[in-house]
Amino acid sequence: MENSPVAHNLSKRFVAGSGLEQALEVSRKLNREGIAVTLDVLGESVTTLDEAARARDAYLRTLGAVHEAGIEGNVSLKLTQFGLDLSPQGCRANVEQLVRRAAELGGFVRVDMESSDYTSRTLDLVTALHAQYGVVGTVIQAYLHRSRQDVENLCRLGIRVRLCKGAYLEPHSVAFAKKAEVDRNYVELMRILLDTGAYPAIATHDEKMIAATKAHAALRKVPRDGFEFQMLYGIRRDLQRQLVAEGYRLRLYVPFGEAWYPYYMRRLAERPANVFFILRNLFRR
């Protein structure tokens, strides 16, 4: 699949190449269009601590290259890629090394959220590193029942939050089952973030959620540079251009690396709705 011309053309739509230089070139182009980036080095769920160390080093190179190139961007990582399932202490050491370097460079590290099995461990690690370095944030998924309390705690601590709906298949005991419930909670959490959060990131391609965010920001007189919208690279480019033209800040989540095929398959396997989301956007301009 990774060597197939058809699959390669598919991956180009959503993945910024297999190497760092390709990702930097995509980032430069997006910056010229007034769009910031967050770079993600593909390769999750490592099986050895050596693999976790290689992931850490790849992120350190990426962070340094972004700084050296003067790109408006940061990096985003998953704790399983840094060894969380193998050694919590080793994972923390790997992430701390990256966060420390980001603090030295004036950068920022976003720790992605994975399934609900990892939520508490992720928030504990982010909270500890933020208290020490300040340049680390996380992600909250609106479909989890616990997310309101998590958002309120993170806002109180001044930790930056990316708000998304959530992409993993979760049991009803921990997550809302209906789309309407997720949407309602998303709007409630978005309002809390705009009212009390530290430079919140509203991550959505849903035009209803975007409209609700614009309306609440206007009502509360939140300046357009006081928060940002976030979207995936290759998804809804028409909407991306519209937001930039309206003066809103926009950041794209830009994955790159050799492991694009497992990335795709994992996203599709995690939740059936992801398949339809990708297919819809293949045929949108």
Does the pTM exceed 0.85? Answer: yes
> Could you read off the pLDDT of 167-191 as tens digits, one per residue?
888 999 999 999 999 999 999 999 9
The per-residue b/e assignment along 12-39, b for 16 or more CB within 10 angstroms, e otherwise, is eebbbbbebeebbebbeebbeebbbbbb
**Does pLDDT of 15 surpass 80?**
yes
One-letter identity of residue 81: Q
> Average pLDDT, whole number, for the chain?
92
Are 213 and 194 a contacting pair, CB within 8 Å?
A: yes
pLDDT band at 18 (very low <50, low <70, confident <90, very high): confident
Which position among 92, 101, 112, 236 bears the catalytic label?
Answer: 112
Task: Report pLDDT for 122.
Answer: 98
Mean pLDDT of 46-59: 97
CA 257 – CA 246 distance, rounded (Å)? 32
Active-site choice (92, 101, 160, 162): 162
- Name the more confident of 274 and 224: 224
CATH number of the domain enclosing 199: 3.20.20.220
Q: How many domains does the chain have?
A: 1
> What residues does 74 pair with on adjacent strands?
38
E strand or H helix at 232: strand 228-232
Of the candidates 198, 250, 253, 189, the one whose C-alpha atom is nearest the C-alpha of residue 222 is 198
Would residue 112 show up in a list of annotated catalytic residues for this protein? Answer: yes
pLDDT at 14: 83
Distance between CA 111 and CA 113 in Å, rounded? 7
Mean pLDDT across the stretch 196-220? Answer: 98
Q: Catalytic site residue 162?
A: yes
Q: In the structure encoding, which two tokens stand for residue 23, read together?
A: 């990702």
Predicted confidence (pLDDT) at residue 137 exceeds the cutoff of 80: yes
Domain enclosing residue 73, as ranges? 5-282
